[in-house]
Amino acid sequence: MAETKLHGNTIRTNGTLPKVGERAPDFTLTTTDLKDVSLADFKSRAKLISIFPSIDTPVCALSTKKFNDHARANPDVTMMMVAADLPFAMARFCGDEGLENVKALSMMRDRKFADDYGVRITDGPLAGITARAVLVLDADNVVTYAELVPEIGQEPDYDAAIKALA
């Protein structure tokens, strides 16, 4: 179990993020066109996984835009944006904002991702969805960077995550 904060109040997650040096767990998530994908679908590429509560919140939206900008300049990296939102909401947001360089992925069909990655919030008003976190994986899906953001309303450390992709 890990702890983060929501408006200064401590909330807990079901576990801990995979640690640097560990292989990331496989997953099944749903794309905006309702196709299921797994970690294996992104093999042989460096990956950044941005995990957040909902695309319809200001910090989640901002971080998705910032990671999209990085992905545009670095097409050899896969940037995955993961939330509990329905694929339709993620598609709407990305379409409205012109975000074509990130992969918006939903836990609509399988919430196991949140459990396996240790980010499912277990108490407080956001119980059942995910805390904010960023993971960077190498081409072999080994974690090279892991951040559970200490306050859900706070942006992740973009510089550290981008540096880990190098």
> In this structure, what token pair is assigned to residue 51?
């995990």
Rounded CA gap, 13 and 64, in Å?
22
Nearest residue to 101 via CA among 74, 120, 138, 134: 74
Contact, 36 vs 109, CB < 8 A? yes
Buried b (16+ CB within 10 A) or exposed e, 104-129: bbbbbeeeebbebbbbbbeeeebeeb
| Active-site residue (options: 29, 60, 121, 131) | 60
Is 94 tagged catalytic? no
Q: What 8-state DSSP symbol labels residue 133?
A: E
From residue 148, give the alpha-carbon distance in Å to each of 73, 93, 99, 113.
Answer: 25, 24, 24, 15
- DSSP-derived 3-state class of residue 89: helix
**Catalytically active residues, by annotation:** 60
